[in-house]
């Protein structure tokens, strides 16, 4: 499960970064990128700041900013957000 979660987060991060190349001014995408980096670090044990999980806003940002740009990436980011809620 842990490897599946990390793989999902890494896939979400890669797709987020690809979208950032097309929309480099997007604060929402930058925020999502940082949040996914945090999730990966937490899952891999590189940070122990579990209390920061309550600050994850990937789902809201995806609904507002990503879905109009790319529905496929949005679906992946919704999966990331859902998995983050299970942590």
pLDDT in tens, 12-47: 999 999 999 999 999 999 999 999 999 999 999 999
pTM confidence score: 0.95
What's the pLDDT score for residue 1?
63
Backbone angles phi, psi at 52, to 5 degrees: -70, -15
Q: Is there a contact between 59 and 43 (Cβ–Cβ < 8 Å)?
A: no
Q: Which two tokens stand for residue 46?
A: 């590189």
List CB contacts of 12: < 8 A, sequence separation 6 or more: 36, 76, 77, 79, 80
pLDDT in tens, 60-85: 999 999 999 999 999 999 999 999 99
Tokens 């209390």 -> residue: 51
Q: Say what angle helices 27-43 and 2-22 make with each other, to 10 degrees.
A: 160
């Amino acid at each position: 499960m842990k490897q599946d979660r990390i793989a999902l987060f890494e896939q979400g991060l890669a797709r987020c970064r690809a979208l950032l190349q097309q929309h480099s001014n997007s604060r929402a995408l930058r925020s999502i990128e940082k949040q996914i980096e945090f999730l990966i670090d937490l899952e891999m044990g590189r940070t122990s700041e579990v209390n920061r999980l309550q600050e994850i806003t990937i789902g809201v940002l995806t609904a507002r900013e990503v879905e109009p740009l790319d529905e496929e990436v949005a679906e992946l980011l919704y999966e990331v957000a859902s998995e983050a809620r299970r942590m």
